A and B are shown apart, each in its own frame.
Chain A
Amino acid sequence: MSLSSNDIARIRADFPILSRKVNGSDLVYLDNAATAQTPQVVIDSIVDYYSKYNANIHRGVHSLSQEATEAFELARKKVQQHFNIARPEEVIFTSGTTHSINAVASGYAKLLSAGDELIVSALEHHSNIVPWQMACEQSGAVLKVIPMDQSGALDMKAYEQLLSEKTKLVFCNHVSNALGVINPIEELIEKAHQVGAAVLIDGAQAAPHIKADLQALDVDFYTVSAHKFCGPTGIGMLYGKKERLDALPPYQGGGEMIATVSFENTTYADLPHKFEAGTPNIAGGIAFGVALDYMNSIGFDQIAAYEKELLILATTELSKIEGVQIYGASHQKTAVLSFNIQGIHPYDIGSILDQMGVAVRTGHHCAQPIMDFYEIPGTVRASFSFYNSKEEVHRFIEAVKKAKAMLS
């Protein structure tokens, strides 16, 4: 079941920002892969927290602290249920995907030794490359790269050849941020486990479109950022299997993450607190739970079906424009169109689109290795969400045509 135009009109009314104007035109927001917009219920949950029960959690005996703690822990349960995670303590609240990956990488830096190997995909965001390079520098481990082909698909044969008993960890995004390609993570995880390697999947770009069942995937670590799917910025999840998280040294020291502290010795708290040093983003965590409720009330099957319609419509119409080159033509894609027009710089297209109220992303999308692969300075990326209407797709196409006419 997809969403009807009536559904979309109702959904759009939930997002106050969608009715604003930009440069005199109605906003057409197609930068959803960078950050998604926030529905009123999520905004209200933040206001509600600060208006009614703002208090530090897990320590106060007073009522406000208890209310805040319950709301925060309820959010953890919502996240647990959403991703079908076995235990609530396997849900670590972080500031987002980058923080989550850094927490794992810095722990691994201490666990790895010289000669160990890590495998990364060629499709990664810089935040799933750099923390591992840092871990390699510290530990003497070696980073290997799974190559990609022209369509943006990973070379799984090459991947198999890279795997060995030296492989300690494989990390890859579920969906590429620059191209929108869905990676074959089931196969990737299974093969890694055959050699005893752990797998970290960066789910930042997948979470808005795909409801991942983490137990079925049998993944070791999975990371998301709430702001990519209707939640606020500054909050996200690190999922880790209990035994993996138990084995991982803590990332930051501070309050909440300890069991006992003396100047001679400190023992660490149990999960999830071991990885949640300091006062967390309480309002953010609560709002994260509300965002999941909101998206589930629409339904991920409906969202996926409707976004596919948007992607097909946009791809068909964009392909009609002469000189358009779409990157990542894989069949397995979320609603992302990364493209260029022959002879025109992406910055120029983005600038003209902005004048018409159409928000897209231009540049290398923090994935320079992909741009180097295609030998381009960057792309224009239009990324769609379930609240985008088909009229907006047409406005986007008209704006691209106008930009092309002006710039040719």
Chain B
Amino acid sequence: MSESIAEIQEEIIDEFSMFDDWMQRYEYMISLGKSLPLIDQSYKTDDYLIKGCQSKVWVHASLDGDRLFFKADSDAIITKGIIAILIRVFSNQKPEDIIEAETSFIDEIGLKEHLSPTRANGLLSMIKQIKLYAIAFKTQLNQ
């Protein structure tokens, strides 16, 4: 039995609570960004691109059984770090759970500013896209 979205979010909040300052937090994010498995080049096209004014994000989703798997990439490393966290939360989950999931944990780990619309880094749209994928695949599963 894999962990639920809420359980993973709790884990992430616990991990981030161990950091004393912003530098440790960002260094962790940067290392996550670097370790994120790169998206297959064939998906790094405009079809999978979420355009942000500041950084670009590519997202690809696939269904395996009743679970959705996400792969994503960005041209900015901090954006990639946040993507790695979002994938950890949303990948290998059921579409209906993804649709209903809260994302307030982002505030709790001190990265709220990266999800502000003024940042225009594609992350806000990425979450929207993840949910849209979940809706689309849920419909597909129900058919």
From A348, A350, A363, A378, name the one whose CB has the most chain B CB atoms within 10 angstroms.
Answer: A348
Taking the complex as formed, is A362 at the interface, i.e. its CB lies under 8 A from any CB of chain B? yes
* A-facing residues in B14-67 (Cβ within 8 Å): 22-23, 26-27, 30, 53-56
Smallest CB-CB separation from B81: which chain A residue? Answer: A348
A243 and B76 CA atoms in complex are apart in Å by 51
Smallest CB-CB separation from B74: which chain A residue? Answer: A345
Secondary structure of the A contact surface, majority rule = helix
Taking the complex as formed, is A125 at the interface, i.e. its CB lies under 8 A from any CB of chain B? no
Query: What's the least CB distance linking A11 to chain B, in Å?
Result: 29
Instruction: Give the chain B neighbours of A377 by CB distance below 8 A.
Output: 55-56, 75
A354 and B26 CA atoms in complex are apart in Å by 12
Whether A347 contacts B121 in the complex (CB less than 8 A), given A362-B54, A377-B56, A378-B54, comes out as: yes
Taking the complex as formed, is B88 at the interface, i.e. its CB lies under 8 A from any CB of chain A? no
Instruction: Give the chain A neighbours of B135 by CB distance below 8 A.
Output: none
* B-facing residues in A305-364 (Cβ within 8 Å): 344-348, 350-352, 354-355, 362-364
Taking the complex as formed, is A406 at the interface, i.e. its CB lies under 8 A from any CB of chain B? yes
Taking the complex as formed, is B79 at the interface, i.e. its CB lies under 8 A from any CB of chain A? yes
A27 and B55 CA atoms in complex are apart in Å by 25
Count B interface residues, CB 8 Å.
Answer: 18
Structural contact, B26 and A347, CB atoms closer than 8 A: no
A376 and B126 CA atoms in complex are apart in Å by 22
Secondary structure of the B contact surface, majority rule = helix
Taking the complex as formed, is B127 at the interface, i.e. its CB lies under 8 A from any CB of chain A? no
Structural contact, A355 and B53, CB atoms closer than 8 A: no
Instruction: Give the chain B neighbours of A350 by CB distance below 8 A.
Output: 54
Instruction: Give the chain B neighbours of A348 by CB distance below 8 A.
Output: 30, 76-79
Whether A345 contacts B55 in the complex (CB less than 8 A), given A351-B114, A407-B77, comes out as: yes
* B-facing residues in A356-408 (Cβ within 8 Å): 362-364, 377-378, 406-407
From B53, B120, B121, name the one whose CB has the most chain A CB atoms within 10 angstroms.
Answer: B53
Instruction: Give the chain A neighbours of B53 by CB distance below 8 A.
Output: 363-364
- The 0/1 profile, CB within 8 Å of A marked 1, for residues 78-111 of chain B is 1100000000000000000000000000000000
Structural contact, A351 and B22, CB atoms closer than 8 A: no
Instruction: Give the chain B neighbours of A378 by CB distance below 8 A.
Output: 54
A380 and B33 CA atoms in complex are apart in Å by 20
Smallest CB-CB separation from B75: which chain A residue? Answer: A345
A23 and B113 CA atoms in complex are apart in Å by 12
A364 and B75 CA atoms in complex are apart in Å by 14
Structural contact, B22 and A345, CB atoms closer than 8 A: no
Instruction: Give the chain B neighbours of A351 by CB distance below 8 A.
Output: 26, 78, 114
A55 and B45 CA atoms in complex are apart in Å by 57
Structural contact, A23 and B27, CB atoms closer than 8 A: no
Query: What's the least CB distance linking B44 to chain A, in Å?
Result: 14
Structural contact, B22 and A347, CB atoms closer than 8 A: no
Structural contact, A347 and B23, CB atoms closer than 8 A: no
A352 and B27 CA atoms in complex are apart in Å by 10
Smallest CB-CB separation from A354: which chain B residue? Answer: B113
Of A345, A346, A352, A362, which one neighbours B26 at CB under 8 angstroms? A352
A354 and B23 CA atoms in complex are apart in Å by 12
Query: What's the least CB distance linking A81 to chain B, in Å?
Result: 37
Instruction: Give the chain A neighbours of B55 by CB distance below 8 A.
Output: 345, 347, 377
Instruction: Give the chain A neighbours of B22 by CB distance below 8 A.
Output: 23, 355
A345 and B33 CA atoms in complex are apart in Å by 13
Instruction: Give the chain A neighbours of B121 by CB distance below 8 A.
Output: 347
Whether A347 contacts B27 in the complex (CB less than 8 A), given A23-B22, A363-B54, A364-B53, comes out as: no
Instruction: Give the chain B neighbours of A346 by CB distance below 8 A.
Output: 54
Instruction: Give the chain A neighbours of B76 by CB distance below 8 A.
Output: 345, 347-348
A345 and B56 CA atoms in complex are apart in Å by 11
Query: What's the least CB distance linking A358 to chain B, in Å?
Result: 13
Instruction: Give the chain B neighbours of A347 by CB distance below 8 A.
Output: 54-55, 76, 78-79, 121
- List the interface of chain B (C-beta within 8 A of A): 22-23, 26-27, 30, 53-56, 75-79, 113-114, 120-121
Question: 19 pairs across A/B with beta carbons < 8 Å?
Answer: A344-B77, A345-B75, A345-B76, A346-B54, A347-B54, A347-B55, A347-B76, A347-B78, A348-B76, A348-B79, A350-B54, A351-B26, A352-B26, A352-B78, A362-B54, A363-B120, A364-B53, A406-B30, A407-B30
